[in-house]
Amino acid sequence: MMERKEKVIIALGVIFIIAAGSMHFMGVNAVLAFAVTAAALALLAVVVGDATEQLGCRLGPGATGILQSALGNLPELFVCIFALRAGLDGVVKAALVGSILGNSVLVLGVALFLGGLKNGTQRFPSEPPKMIVALMLIASAALVVPTLTHELHTPAEGHIGDLDIVLAVILLILLGASIYFSVKKDPAVAIQSESMGSAEWPLSLTLIILGVAGTAAAFVSDWFVDAMQPAMRSLGISETFAGLVVVAIAGNAIENLVGIQLAWRNQADYAVSVILNSSLQIALGLFPVLVLISFVLGGAVLSFVLAPLLLAVLLLSVIVSAFIIYDGESIWLEGLALVGLYCIIAAAFWWG
């Protein structure tokens, strides 16, 4: 059955969802509604992650990888869909880049910092993380092509939409191949799945919670986007900062607190794999899916063309995280440096 902590999270989620819905329909203060809705979205992300893990335990390691890719980012997917329908494609781009930064810089930094303080130098097999960051580097490099095509006004600039579709399909193929490779060849993934143990929730309860949480995420995401613009105007926050930090943390990074917990328990190999895999799923899965969906949504069309500074910080974060994990060991100072880097990047986008 459920642990006490899981029951508390679900209860808090229900309370915040009811509060967010009430504020949305009553038209209360936009800033308060935005904060409450963000909290509800973060709690839903945790619930969806827990239910996905329980279902994956029953279906085996192969299905777990697929489920995590498909369902782990469900709340953020809904937020981005509603934001695109509202014409906020700039917020969506910042949120997707922010999710990668939140995982590979902020969450990884906090995990290495706390794990290093408690356990000293932490060592882990470096091959699985190397594969992940190599794919992240390839995905990030792929984003350079449409951005340079646009910025340099090459002949292909008039066909950016077609280029985006080609790139999206290629990235999704890479995602499928990486899941297959991890399940078949990466021993760390199999060990991690075994370490999670057997499912503790009844299957019927797991499916009900996953279905209800997914449905609730759709409604809460709509309320979140509705409250976002007036709240940003009231607080003087730019759309880019809201997407890069607020939306990214609310929809994605909170879910990956499990990585921090694993590092605290001196399971650095599992922690690094969980955190970096989350970034990889966004780059190879969520971003291209949203690009393809945007062509039929009826709102703004999402493109892989990024603002130069967004592209620069994305490449910087991937390169720095690669250097951190390549030697197969970490100390708390490296984690603190990553957190500092995230704060610097966030500060650079405060004004837009």
Q: Bridge-partner residues for 122, per DSSP?
A: 330
Q: Is 197 left (phi over 0), alpha (psi -120 to 50) or beta?
A: left
Is residue 79 a contact partner of residue 230, using CB atoms and an 8 Å limit? no
Query: Could you tell me the CA-to-CA distances from 27 to 33, 203, 344 in Å, in that order?
Result: 8, 39, 35
Please choose, from the candidates 97, 64, 107, the residue with its C-alpha nearest in 3D space to the C-alpha of residue 302: 97
Angle formed at CA 299 by CA 219 and CA 173, multiple of 5 degrees: 85
Q: 158: Cβ–Cβ under 8 A, 6 or more apart, which residues?
A: none
Is residue 81 a contact partner of residue 308, using CB atoms and an 8 Å limit? no
Phi, psi dihedrals of residue 299, rounded to the nearest 5°: -105, -135
Q: What's the rounded Cα separation, in Å, for the pair 112 and 333?
A: 8
146-155: list long-range contacts, CB under 8 Å, 24+ apart.
Answer: 146/303, 146/304, 146/305, 147/304, 147/305, 147/306, 147/308, 147/311, 149/305, 150/305, 151/308
Task: Tally DSSP H helices, then E strands, for the chain.
Answer: 17, 2
| Tens of pLDDT, residues 115-138 | 999 888 888 877 778 888 889 999
Q: What's the rounded Cα separation, in Å, for the pair 329 and 252?
A: 26
Q: What's the rounded Cα separation, in Å, for the pair 46 and 71?
A: 11
Is residue 65 a contact partner of residue 34, using CB atoms and an 8 Å limit? no
One-character DSSP codes across 265-291:
TT-HHHHHHHHHHHHHHIIIIIHHHHH
The residue length of the chain stands at: 352
Q: What's the rounded Cα separation, in Å, for the pair 20 and 29?
A: 11
pLDDT for the residue numbered 67: 62
Is residue 69 a contact partner of residue 280, using CB atoms and an 8 Å limit? no
Q: What's the rounded Cα separation, in Å, for the pair 85 and 164?
A: 19
Q: What's the rounded Cα separation, in Å, for the pair 163 and 158?
A: 10
Q: What's the rounded Cα separation, in Å, for the pair 140 and 171?
A: 11
Please choose, from the candidates 242, 243, 277, the residue with its C-alpha nearest in 3D space to the C-alpha of residue 258: 277
Give the residue extent of every domain in the chain: 4-348
Phi, psi dihedrals of residue 265, rounded to the nearest 5°: -85, 10
CB neighbours of residue 256 within 10 Å: 27
Per-residue pLDDT of the chain (352 residues; tens, 9 = 90+): 677 888 888 999 899 999 999 998 888 888 899 889 988 888 887 887 778 777 766 665 455 555 655 666 777 888 889 989 988 898 899 989 998 998 889 989 999 999 999 888 888 877 778 888 889 999 988 889 999 999 998 998 889 999 999 999 999 999 888 877 766 655 544 444 444 455 577 878 888 888 888 888 888 888 988 888 888 888 888 888 888 888 887 766 555 677 787 788 888 877 887 788 888 889 999 999 999 999 998 888 999 999 999 999 999 999 998 888 888 888 899 999 999 999 999 999 888 6
Report the predicted TM-score, pTM, of the whole model to 2 decimal places.
0.83
- Look up residue 332 and give its amino acid: W
